Structure 1
Amino acid sequence: MTAPDVLGARAAVLVFLAFALAYFLSALVRAVTATLSPILSVELALQASDLGLLAGGYFLGFALTQLPLGNWLDRHGPRRVILGFLGVAVLGCVAFALATGFSGLLAARVLTGMGVSACLMAPLTGYRRWLTPATQMRTNSWMLMTGSLGMVAATLPVQWLLPLTGWRGLFWALAALFVLAMTGIALAVPAWRKAATLSTPEGPREAGTPAGYGLVWRHPYFQQMVPIGFFNYGGMVAVQTLWAGPWMVKVAGYSPQQSAAGLFGINLSMLCAFWLWGMINPGLARRGLRAERLIAWGLPLSLCVLLSIVWLGAGAGWLLWALFCVCSTFVALSQPAVALALPAEAAGRALSAYNLIIFAGVFTVQWGVGLAIDALAVFGWSEPDRYRGAVGVFLGCCVLAYLAFLRLLLRARRRGALPQHR
């Protein structure tokens, strides 16, 4: 990497802030269905499976764009790609505000998910070239912290705004804010230099990096992270952005206002967790504590908390869900680690492919939990017990995914195949 590709401190801060606003808004849009679920359920007579599909539609749209997104990021760079995608997000918010039925809302959610799908991948692709590895781990955590701030804004602040704007007015305002974010990115983010122009001792790096996704799919480190990315990471996001809210209302007996306050607490806890990860990640990297090692140690904590939630049922309120999400943040270390394990010229593809795994998991868990809640009615279970049963199935999937991760990790260690992050 040549010196012109490394951003100075002032330029790096401006680029981070420009990208952070877009990611803040994308996270707000992602999580707002949990706060709006009581209103939308009454207004549109939605069942649990409908609600899960509506929330999951965002992640379906998100997943549909990931493979072309990675190629476009590597070829055209973050600024050009994210500006095009955010234009689609503006259209999605407008369509949601104008929708008159469930099908219209679902189509708008899919469109919005497609539009914001570059809001994390674009900056992480740029950081892979513009920042040092230790700084990349920090900025990744702080981007996720910004996302948690957006999810905080989607709880009580949205609940306070709804009497003034209604949910339709809220989405008109979001469309305008996305336009503002586009302006900031256009002004602050540098142009992208073609990878072939990067000089290295071995010559142009592009010449040795295969095109397409084969390099990514076949990489052992990527394969190692797939199970936990799908179920553990995707499931954490599914809970944070949807099912924690209905659980608090249907199982723990919260009012909609209390549920919004609980979601506020959950997302505030996540914000603090990601801020802390950003502070300590450079020090952990200097001490040689690799991401996969930290995940292996920390992720079982989330499984124990989830088991206690299923066991306690109505006694499991927002504090336990917050603890589950915070303990699950260990798995967020996998995302920058995957990018660092592959060549910088393939960073966009590596990040987008892994993001596809994560958000396919989010969609599957969000919709799957809703389907399980409705399906368990055949046994005559009460609604709280159906929620507990569905979360229990989710817990089983998370345990199996963690065991698969451990198996692949131990195999890689025996072969000495763990990559060097440069």
Structure 2
Amino acid sequence: MSLLARRQVVAVFLAFAFTYFFSALLRAITATLSPTLTQEFQLQAGDLGLLAGGYFLGFSAMQLPLGTWLDRHGPKKVLVWFLGVAVVGCLVFAFATNFSTLLAARVLCGAGVGACLMAPLTGFRRWFSPQVQLRTNSWMLMTGSFGMLASTLPVQWLLPVVGWRPLFWGLAVLLVVAIAVIALVVPNWQAVPHEPGSEPGSYRAVWRHPYFWQMSPIGFFNYGGMIAVQTLWAGPWMVRVTGFDPLASAAGLFTINIAMLVTFWTWGLVTLRLQRRGLDADRLIAWGTPLSLLALAALILAGPQAGPLMLALFCVSTTFVALAQPSVGMAFPASLAGRALSGYNLVIFGGVFVVQWGIGLLIDGFGALGMDVVSAFRAAFATYLVANVLSYGWFLWSRSHNRQQSP
């Protein structure tokens, strides 16, 4: 099962999970804070999309050097240094007095937590068997759902008590604790020889791999876009389209994240059984993605009647695509695992940034054309649906093409 003793496996997983919890909380907190920040800083929809997307801009910018550093230096050393940047980002956000500083802080936060999932997945690729990697990947994502839960009602309840700035002071302190836990628990790293014909630190073998390109569009639009909705636009949809107040919107986000938590926990339980029955990631994605397309179409058609349950259905049905991430990692040798995983993570979170900001720009643009708020939201989400359908079509074609090219 593992190159580590069972007790050490549990300790390492929990150390990484503790850190990833705060990464996910920072990622999603903008959705809960959006009414407060919009009022205090007079933000437009495009500004709000850019602010939330700033996290993913910083996150994405670090993925390529991150992959090389992970392969060379290992999860422990890299994650400790990255988390130090996240601490600075939280402190800058807490003291921000204008939109530009808020945006810079979000970029720093995103860059700083950019290794919180890739570091453990790189370690798991070395330390765990392929079957266990699928399970631990799902349960790491489940931990992220805990963080997103913490960003909803708990944050909404704390806002009137302490305000949003002290929340970020507290997050900075907790990230310092996470640094200490990682330094104490995670094993040291020994770099392995690179593959014959590949260049140390180069992404050439990753970019040229047909499986990577098969999975890239659905990672960018379908899965990255779902994260964009979950971590930002679900909140404004419930406030501006469905008509919820901020507290009801936070409760709706709590519902969505509970559903995601249960879903990833279930994926961790069933992936091994599904694999034994010949249901690999490609087949599950091919069968499951149409469900997410139908759920998104139903959300758009329902408009003001589409509340948290319909948003949760869309997010849950898109988790089939989450199976692509460990599959991409396992398609490459261990010496390339950090680069393969980080390269694919760049695709996903590049998609989050583009969709998060893009939906905001589309809402403002359709509004400028004379549409009311509800119609502008529906038109923006319909544009996103078209991108998802095209990405799924590419996946089906590429999958068939790659099969034909296989010896």
- Tell me if 1:327 matches 2:324: no
CA distance in 2, matches of 1:69, 1:121: 8
**Contact 1:58 1:111 survives alignment (8 Å):** yes
Report the equivalent of 2:213. 223
Q: Deviations over 1:43-95 (max 9, x none)?
A: 00100000000000000000000000000000000000000000000000000
How far off is 1:287 after superposition? 2.2
Shift of 1:124: 0.1
Aligned mates of 1:194, 1:270 — CA distance in 2: 35
With normalisation by structure 1, the TM-score equals: 0.95
Q: What is the aligned partner in structure 2 of residue 202 from structure 1?
A: none
**What is the distance in 2 between the residues matched to 1:98 and 1:380?**
38
Q: Residue 369 of structure 2 aligns with which residue? A: 379
Residue 207 of structure 1, CA deviation: 4.6
After superposition, residues 210-249 of structure 1 pair within 5 angstroms as: 210-211=199-200, 212-249=202-239
Change in Cα spacing, 1:117 to 1:306, as seen in structure 2 (3 Å) is same
Q: Is the 8 A contact 1:209 1:345 kept in 2?
A: no
Q: Which residue of 1 aligns with 2:396?
A: 406
Ranges in structure 1 where 5+ consecutive residues have no aligned partner: 197-204, 418-422
Query: What is the match of residue 344 of structure 1?
Result: 334
Mapped partners of 2:332, 2:48: distance in 1? 38
**DSSP 3-state at the match of 1:195:** coil
**Take 1:220 and 1:414, find their aligned partners in 2: how far apart are those partners?**
12
Give 1:37 deviation, angstroms. 0.1
* Matched position secondary structure for 1:342: coil
Q: 2:11 aligns with which of 10, 14, 19?
A: 14
5 Å-filtered alignment, 1:144-159, equals 144-159=141-156
TM-score (norm 2): 0.98
- Report how far residue 283 of structure 1 moved: 1.4
Of 76, 79, 88 in structure 2, the residue corresponding to residue 79 of structure 1 is 76
In the alignment of these two chains, the number of paired residues is 406
Alpha-carbon RMSD across the aligned residues, in angstroms, is 1.1
Matched to 1:290, the amino acid is: D
Structure 2 residue 305 is matched with structure 1 residue 315: yes
Structure 2 counterparts to residues 192-341 of structure 1, below 5 A: 192-196=189-193, 206-207=195-196, 209-211=198-200, 212-341=202-331
Give per-residue Cα distances to partners, 1:147-176, cap 9 Å, x unaligned.
011000000010111112211000000000
Q: Would you identify which runs of 4 or more consecutive aligned residues in structure 1 move more than 6 Å?
A: none
Does the 8 Å CA contact 1:209/1:343 hold for their aligned counterparts?
no
Q: Distance in 1 between matches of 2:199 and 2:278?
A: 30
Aligned residue for 1:254, secondary structure, equals coil
Q: Distance in 2 between matches of 1:366 and 1:149?
A: 22
Who is 2:126 aligned against?
A: 129
> Structure 2: how far apart are the matches of 1:69 and 1:381?
43
- Separation in structure 1 between the aligned mates of residue 241 and residue 248 of structure 2, nearest angstrom: 13
The Cα shift of 1:380 comes to 1.1
**What is the rounded CA distance, in whole Å, between the counterparts of 2:54 and 2:152 in structure 1?**
20
Tell me which amino acid in the other structure corresponds to 1:292. Answer: D
Shift of 1:388: 0.5
- Separation of aligned partners in 1, 2:378 and 2:104: 30
CA deviations on 1:94-133 (whole Å, 9 max, x unpaired) are 0000111100000000011000000000000000000000
How far apart, CA to CA, are the structure 2 residues paired with 1:207 and 1:8?
31
> Aligned residue for 1:89?
86
1:290: Cα distance to partner? 1.2
Structure 1 CA distance for aligned equivalents of residues 155 and 198 of structure 2: 46
Alpha-carbon distance between aligned partners in 2 of 1:7 and 1:207, rounded to the nearest angstrom = 28
